């Protein structure tokens, strides 16, 4: 009888202990989720004077891409997939797309600094060309070739890539987002409260958009 009472007391204590552990774990998960949501809010609200935005300001979904001009996966996305996303989602007012630089090496840092000198109305088309001709301009004569693509004087571009302040400005978007999120590769996309570290296919992007229940028109 005494043995049964002892077991009963132990069982109650075990149940209480397990419940406490579950509560603490659940609470910590909730806190991490809340902190993560706050981090994503910070990313969406961040301002970058060099970012490119296309699509309607009141589009129901905002997509932020962090990309590197020397990244082959980024080039594939921009050359092959993004044009289809533009036609299907951006031009139809469903998606607002924000393009932010995330230099991954000295070539992409210099390329970012140079393309930032291109007037905004022409910059997106210039970036499209940089991605399309990525294999041709990367190398020892990158500055000269990028100057030609960007329609800028070569001497100006050489000064740009030698100016540490300009290079720091080109690196700024990467440094800012790394304070908030751990980006392990490019391209990386932020769509609402989720991060996608991959080269999204059109089918994968469609699947994400289906979950948003966007209007048909």
- Cα 55 to chain centroid distance, Å, stands at 17
CA atoms of 143 and 158, how far apart (whole Å): 7
Confidence of residue 23 (pLDDT cuts 50, 70, 90): very low
What integer is the mean pLDDT of 128-140? 94
Edge-first strand listing for the sheet containing 194-196: 52-54, 95-101, 61-67, 188-191, 194-196
Q: What is the signed CA dihedral for 77, 80, 85, 91, rounded to 10 degrees?
A: 120
Q: Judge whether residue 123 has pLDDT over 90.
A: yes
**Chain segment 109-121, per-residue pLDDT in tens:** 999 999 999 999 9
**Chain segment 32-85, per-residue pLDDT in tens:** 233 345 566 667 666 666 788 989 989 999 999 999 999 999 999 999 999 999
CA atoms of 64 and 93, how far apart (whole Å): 16
Confidence of residue 2 (pLDDT cuts 50, 70, 90): very low
Q: Name the DSSP class of 152.
A: -
CB 163 within 8 A of CB 110: no
Q: For residue 135, how many other CB atoms are within 10 A of its CB?
A: 9
What pLDDT is recorded for position 183? Answer: 87
**Phi, psi for residue 62 in degrees, rounded to 5:** -115, 130
Length of the chain counted residue by residue: 217
CA atoms of 62 and 93, how far apart (whole Å): 11
Residues 6+ apart with CB under 8 A from 11: none
Q: What is the 3-state secondary structure (H, E, C) of 16-37?
A: HHHHHHHHHHHHHHHHHHHHHH
What integer is the mean pLDDT of 149-155? 97
Long-range Cβ contacts of 20-27 (<8 Å, 24+ apart) = none
Q: For residue 199, how many other CB atoms are within 10 A of its CB?
A: 20
Q: Name the DSSP class of 70.
A: T
């Amino acid at each position: 009888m005494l043995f049964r009472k002892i077991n009963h007391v132990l069982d109650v204590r075990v149940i209480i202990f397990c419940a406490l552990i579950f509560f603490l774990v659940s609470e910590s998960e909730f806190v991490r989720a809340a902190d993560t949501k706050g981090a994503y809010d910070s990313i969406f609200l961040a301002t970058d004077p060099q970012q490119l935005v296309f699509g309607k300001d009141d589009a129901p979904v905002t997509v932020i891409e962090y990309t590197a001009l020397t990244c082959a996966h980024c080039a594939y996305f921009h050359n092959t997939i993004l044009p289809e996303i533009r036609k299907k989602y951006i031009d139809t007012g469903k998606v607002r797309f924000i393009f932010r630089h995330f230099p991954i090496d000295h070539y992409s840092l210099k390329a970012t600094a140079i393309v930032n000198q291109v007037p905004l109305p022409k910059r997106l088309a210039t970036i499209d060309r940089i991605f399309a001709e990525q294999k041709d301009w990367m190398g020892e004569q990158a500055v000269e070739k990028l100057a030609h693509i960007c329609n800028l004087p070569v001497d100006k571009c050489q000064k740009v890539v030698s100016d540490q302040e300009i290079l720091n400005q080109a690196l700024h978007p990467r440094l800012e987002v790394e304070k908030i999120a751990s980006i392990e590769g490019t391209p990386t996309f932020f769509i609402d409260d989720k991060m996608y570290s991959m080269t999204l296919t059109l089918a994968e992007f469609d699947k994400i958009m289906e979950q948003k229940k966007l209007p048909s028109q």
